[in-house]
Structure 1
Amino acid sequence: MLIFSTLISISSNSWLGCWIGLEINLLSFIPLISNSNNLLSTEASLKYFLTQSIASINFLFSILLKMILLKNFEMNYFLSIMMNSSMLMKMGSAPFHFWFPNIIEGLSWFNNFLLMTWQKITPMIILSYYFNKNFLFIIIMMNVIIGALGGLNQTSLRKLMAFSSINNLGWMISAIMISENLWMFYLFMYSFMISIMCFMFYMLNMFFINQLFINNMNSLIKINLLINFLSLGGLPPFIGFFPKWIIINFLIMNQLYFLIFIMIMMSLIVLFFYIRIIYSIFMFNYLKMKWFKIFIKNNKISLINIFSFFSITGMIFSTFMYL
């Protein structure tokens, strides 16, 4: 139902069809949330339902107003902001991001992955149909700034991923303003990196930063964590930088220097709090409990090794393509 509802929305040729797809999407995601054994999952599903409902009502109201006031230009400008806002609220973008870290805290890693990747597809496509350029520039700046500063004092890995997702959302919105193909490429790359992170945390059963320190972790797992964190942050030799590089090029061609300056500066802050985690894992000699061992089945670890290898070498291959 979740996949089907997204397909309804993005292949619909009327606003009402888009709205119906969004509603089905909401009602199919809630059982997924409340299914997990977490104590916070019920609260998360209720919060998710409320925020998405408000955004849907706002969207429907805007559609109806647009049908009535088709000719009025000033009203159209206002309506474009209204519709954009409801879509931004649906995907947890700043300044409507307050529900996002709270809900992510109550989800399992798999649901986290869905919320950070799949659930952003529909609102993003609908946003691209009818966007207000000046409004979205402000939103992009807010996203990258809040995503960077919000993650600074977090101890929960899920909240850290949430703020990282908000930061990446800024890049994604700028990608969809450039072209839909670029956005699809960025989303694919981002989904790839997030899937590795969520898979690793799920396997190690980790939810907080301090859990990374106590473990008798295999050095190979630590190196994989390092590679994937840096790739997610967008550091040049890794594959995560490649889509950002293309976006930077396009924004410079359009002479949006101030916007790109803020985006790059905020990416540095995101990298800072990623590196802080990795540094602690690598450098500090923490408590090692003899009885506390992590065993991971070989086929899973080899899968992660392959992905990490792709993260490093992908950038080199893509550079050749670029040249």
Structure 2
Amino acid sequence: MPPMALLMVTLGVILGTLTVTSANHWLTAWLGLELNMISILPVIAKQKHPRSTEAATKYFLTQATASALILLSSTLNAWQTGSWDITQLNNKLSSILMISALAMKMGAAPAHFWLPEVMQGSTLTTTLLITTWQKIAPITLLYTISNHTEPIITLSIGLLSILVGGWGGFNQTQLRKMMAYSSIAHLGWTMTVISITPNIALTNIIIYMTISTPFFLLLTTTSSKTLRTMTTTWTHAPTTTVILMLLLLSMAGLPPLTGFTPKLLILDNLVMHKLAMMAVIMALLSLLSLTFYLRTTYLLTSTASPTTTQSTTLWRLKPHQNQTTTILTPVALFNITVLPALLT
């Protein structure tokens, strides 16, 4: 991509998100979402491959549908209440439509169908953008209207997302699709508690983003796209292998790693609000996600020295990639060991 085009696309993505996060009017928020969507499309389609074009088309159609629902919901609310203020979403039907539209924009179930396919057709860097930066704007809007959300709707979407995220990633061998279902499952944990304690929901999604960012960047340095190619990582990058293993376990929510903290807080708040059965079901469904995280961790460490791998080495680390690993190591370790600070 030419430098000027890359600069324009980057500014569009950043300005779109900043417009949404600072907006107080539904039309301004909608404009920011549209700018964000239009700017990310060239990034997805830049590979000039049929899979990339297909991914960009699916992303555009889904996001355009969600944007139309957001416009319909805000217009209906303004018609009934006379207010375009984001914090004044008092109409019940508008609230349900808005939650559904924002869930579709983020990729939460049952409107999750586009996320694995779009991520599979994109590069690892673009996948990182879709799972982190592109979720900031919808999460901000969801957080803003959390006082007007229907708890039964958010709990249903969250529970279904945890089930779909765990079940969908169970049989995946493609890392990008597996991480797409992981993203769906983490969105489910966020959605379940967004109407009860929004701050904990925000904490959960922020921690997920800080864990997944070094994970995707380290995958980029190794060029690993499938579980099979990850088995060759230990031979040439043992430090990267150990960090990836710890990040995966943290993402799975195993104590005492960072990913365990938001899950514990969410379950605790659900029990405090007399939703103990919901908390038990969520904890049991999270075992599905834990299965494929542990499988990936096992594949990373099963060929550790002195065992030799039977897979063909498809990549070699370059000097600049070694530098990237050196920079990412303290960042990843901070994300793994930040738990004591969060508990105090």
Partner of 1:5: 16
* Range with greater deviation from structure 2 (250-259 or 45-54): 250-259
Matching residue within 131, 150, 169 for 2:187 = 169
Matched position secondary structure for 2:249: helix
Q: Counterpart amino acid of 2:211?
A: M
Partner of 2:327: 303
1:40 maps to 2:51: yes
Quickly say closer, same or farther: Cα 1:314–1:68, change in 2 above 3 A.
Answer: closer
Matched position secondary structure for 2:258: coil
Matching residue within 158, 166, 190 for 2:208 = 190
Matching residue within 60, 64, 84 for 1:49 = 60
1:257 maps to 2:280: no
Contact 1:38 1:107 in 2 (8 A): no
Query: Structure 2: how far apart are the matches of 1:46 and 1:32?
Result: 12
1:132 maps to 2:160: no
1:107 shift after superposition: 1.0
* Range with greater deviation from structure 2 (173-182 or 186-195): 173-182
- Summarize the alignment of residues 95-134 of structure 1 with structure 2, pairs less than 5 Å apart: 95-128=110-143, 129=145, 130-134=148-152
1:293 shift after superposition: 4.3
Quickly say closer, same or farther: Cα 1:68–1:233, change in 2 above 3 A.
Answer: same
1:290 shift after superposition: 8.2
TM-score normalized by the length of structure 2: 0.85
1:312 shift after superposition: 4.1
Partner of 2:222: 204
Query: Structure 1: how far apart are the matches of 2:152 and 2:179?
Result: 28
Query: Structure 1: how far apart are the matches of 2:314 and 2:169?
Result: 33
1:276 maps to 2:287: no
1:213 maps to 2:248: no
1:62 maps to 2:73: yes
Query: Structure 2: how far apart are the matches of 1:225 and 1:281?
Result: 8
Quickly say closer, same or farther: Cα 1:218–1:2, change in 2 above 3 A.
Answer: closer
Matching residue within 159, 164, 172 for 1:154 = 172
Matched position secondary structure for 2:164: helix
Return 5+ residue gaps in structure 1 as ranges.
none
Query: Structure 1: how far apart are the matches of 2:45 and 2:189?
Result: 30
Query: Structure 2: how far apart are the matches of 1:179 and 1:147?
Result: 22
TM-score normalized by the length of structure 1: 0.90
Q: Counterpart amino acid of 1:237?
A: P
* Range with greater deviation from structure 2 (53-62 or 121-130): 121-130
Partner of 1:286: 309
Query: Structure 2: how far apart are the matches of 1:312 and 1:123?
Result: 26
Count of residue pairs the alignment pairs up: 317
- For residues 75-117 of structure 1, what are the alpha-carbon distances to aligned partners after superposition, in whole Å with 9 as ceiling and x for unaligned? 9333321121111111111000001101011111111111111
Matched position secondary structure for 1:238: coil
1:289 shift after superposition: 5.4
Quickly say closer, same or farther: Cα 1:290–1:226, change in 2 above 3 A.
Answer: closer
Matching residue within 5, 29, 37 for 1:26 = 37
1:254 shift after superposition: 1.1
Query: Structure 2: how far apart are the matches of 1:17 and 1:313?
Result: 39
Q: Which runs of 4+ in 1 moved over 4 A?
A: 288-293
1:46 shift after superposition: 1.1
- CA-based RMSD of the aligned residues comes to 2.3
Contact 1:227 1:311 in 2 (8 A): no
Contact 2:159 2:192 in 1 (8 A): no
Matching residue within 260, 263, 277 for 1:241 = 260
Quickly say closer, same or farther: Cα 1:62–1:316, change in 2 above 3 A.
Answer: closer
Contact 1:44 1:106 in 2 (8 A): yes
Contact 1:233 1:270 in 2 (8 A): yes
Quickly say closer, same or farther: Cα 1:110–1:292, change in 2 above 3 A.
Answer: closer
Partner of 2:27: 16
Partner of 1:90: 105
1:300 shift after superposition: 2.2
Q: Counterpart amino acid of 1:148?
A: G
Query: Structure 2: how far apart are the matches of 1:317 and 1:58?
Result: 40
Matching residue within 72, 94, 102 for 1:79 = 94
Contact 1:124 1:173 in 2 (8 A): no
Return 5+ residue gaps in structure 2 as ranges.
1-11, 83-89
